[in-house]
Chains A and B, each alone.
Chain A
Amino acid sequence: MTTTTKPAAPVAAAPARRLGAGALALRQGRLEITQFLRSRESVVFTMGFPIIMILIFAAIFSDEIAPGVSYTQYFITGMIATGLMTVSFQNLGIWIPIERDRGVLKRYRGTPMPKWVWFAGKVIMVVVIGVAETALLLAVSVALFDLDLPQTAAKWLTFGWVSVLGVTACTLCGIAISSLARTARSGSAVVTPVALVLQFISGVFFVFTNLPTWMQQVAAIFPLKWMCQGLRSVFLPDSFGAQEPGGSFELGRVALVLGAWCVIGLVLCLTTFRSTTRRDG
Chain B
Amino acid sequence: MEDELAISVRGLRKTYGDNVAVAGVDLDVHRGEVFALLGPNGAGKTTTVEILEGYRHRDAGEVRVLGVDPASPDAGWRAKVGIVLQGTGEFDELTVAEVVRHFSGFYPDADDPAKVVERVGLGAKAKARTHTLSGGQKRRLDVALGIIGRPELLFLDEPTTGFDPEARREFWDLIRDLAAAGTTIVLTTHYLDEAEALADRVGVIAAGRVVEVAPPGRLGNRQEALATVSWRTPDGTPESAETASPTALVAELAARFGGEVPGLTVTRPTLEDVYLRMIGH
Check B107 for interface membership: any CB of A closer than 8 A: yes
Q: Which residues of B77-106 have CB atoms within 8 Å of chain A's CB atoms?
A: 78-81, 83, 85, 87-94, 98, 101-106
Known: A34-B93, A107-B88, A111-B78. A19 touches B105 (CB 8 A): yes
Stretch of B110-118, B120-128, B190-198, B214-222 that contacts chain A: B110-118
A residues less than 8 Å from B182 (CB atoms):
8
Check A182 for interface membership: any CB of B closer than 8 A: no
Known: A9-B109, A11-B152, A18-B105. A35 touches B91 (CB 8 A): yes
Check B150 for interface membership: any CB of A closer than 8 A: yes
Whether A280 lies near B103 (C-beta < 8 A) is no
A280 to B16, CA, bound (A): 8
- Contact-size category for B: 35 or more
Check A253 for interface membership: any CB of B closer than 8 A: no
A64 to B148, CA, bound (A): 61
A residues less than 8 Å from B188 (CB atoms):
none
Contact with B along A1-35 (1 / 0, CB 8 A): 10111101111111111110001100100010011
A113 to B149, CA, bound (A): 12
Determine the residue in chain B with the shortest Cβ distance to A106: B88
A residues less than 8 Å from B92 (CB atoms):
39
Whether B101 lies near A1 (C-beta < 8 A) is yes
A21 to B237, CA, bound (A): 77
- How many residues belonging to A are interface residues under a CB distance threshold of 8 Å? 39
Determine the residue in chain A with the shortest Cβ distance to B67: A13
Whether B89 lies near A109 (C-beta < 8 A) is no
Check B75 for interface membership: any CB of A closer than 8 A: yes
Known: A103-B89, A109-B55. A4 touches B110 (CB 8 A): yes
Determine the residue in chain A with the shortest Cβ distance to B150: A8
Whether A13 lies near B76 (C-beta < 8 A) is yes
A residues less than 8 Å from B107 (CB atoms):
17-18, 111-112
Expressed in whole angstroms, the minimum distance between the Cβ of A99 and any Cβ of chain B is 8
A17 to B107, CA, bound (A): 6
Known: A24-B105, A111-B107. A11 touches B79 (CB 8 A): yes
Choose one: A4, A15, A103; the contact of B79 (CB below 8 Å). A15
A residues less than 8 Å from B115 (CB atoms):
5
Known: A3-B113, A18-B107, A112-B78. A104 touches B89 (CB 8 A): yes
Whether B85 lies near A11 (C-beta < 8 A) is no
Whether B55 lies near A110 (C-beta < 8 A) is yes
Check B268 for interface membership: any CB of A closer than 8 A: no
Check A114 for interface membership: any CB of B closer than 8 A: yes
Whether A110 lies near B76 (C-beta < 8 A) is no
Determine the residue in chain B with the shortest Cβ distance to A113: B106
Q: Which residues of A41-63 have CB atoms within 8 Å of chain B's CB atoms?
A: none
A residues less than 8 Å from B102 (CB atoms):
27, 31
Instruction: Name which of A24, A103, A107, A280 has the most chain B CB atoms within 10 A of its CB.
Output: A107
Determine the residue in chain A with the shortest Cβ distance to B148: A111
A14 to B150, CA, bound (A): 15
Known: A107-B89, A109-B55, A110-B85. A15 touches B16 (CB 8 A): no
A residues less than 8 Å from B104 (CB atoms):
3
Contact with A along B50-66 (1 / 0, CB 8 A): 00011110000000000
Check B47 for interface membership: any CB of A closer than 8 A: yes
Whether B76 lies near A15 (C-beta < 8 A) is yes
Whether A102 lies near B108 (C-beta < 8 A) is no
Whether B91 lies near A104 (C-beta < 8 A) is yes
Choose one: A3, A11, A17, A107; the contact of B145 (CB below 8 Å). A107
A4 to B108, CA, bound (A): 10
Choose one: B93, B108, B150; the contact of A17 (CB below 8 Å). B108
A106 to B88, CA, bound (A): 8
Whether B56 lies near A280 (C-beta < 8 A) is yes
Check B181 for interface membership: any CB of A closer than 8 A: yes
Known: A11-B150, A31-B94, A280-B16. A103 touches B88 (CB 8 A): yes
Choose one: B47, B76, B85; the contact of A107 (CB below 8 Å). B85
Expressed in whole angstroms, the minimum distance between the Cβ of A177 and any Cβ of chain B is 22
Whether A103 lies near B91 (C-beta < 8 A) is no
B residues less than 8 Å from A31 (CB atoms):
94, 98, 102
What are 29 A-B interface contacts by the 8 Å CB criterion?
A: A4-B110, A4-B112, A5-B112, A8-B150, A10-B152, A11-B76, A11-B79, A11-B109, A11-B152, A12-B76, A15-B76, A15-B79, A27-B102, A27-B105, A31-B94, A34-B98, A38-B94, A103-B85, A103-B89, A104-B89, A107-B88, A109-B55, A110-B55, A110-B83, A111-B103, A112-B79, A112-B106, A279-B16, A280-B16
| Other 19 A-B pairs with CB < 8 A, given A8-B150, A112-B78 | A3-B112, A3-B113, A8-B181, A9-B109, A10-B152, A11-B108, A17-B106, A18-B109, A19-B105, A24-B106, A31-B98, A38-B94, A103-B90, A106-B55, A107-B85, A110-B54, A112-B108, A112-B149, A113-B106
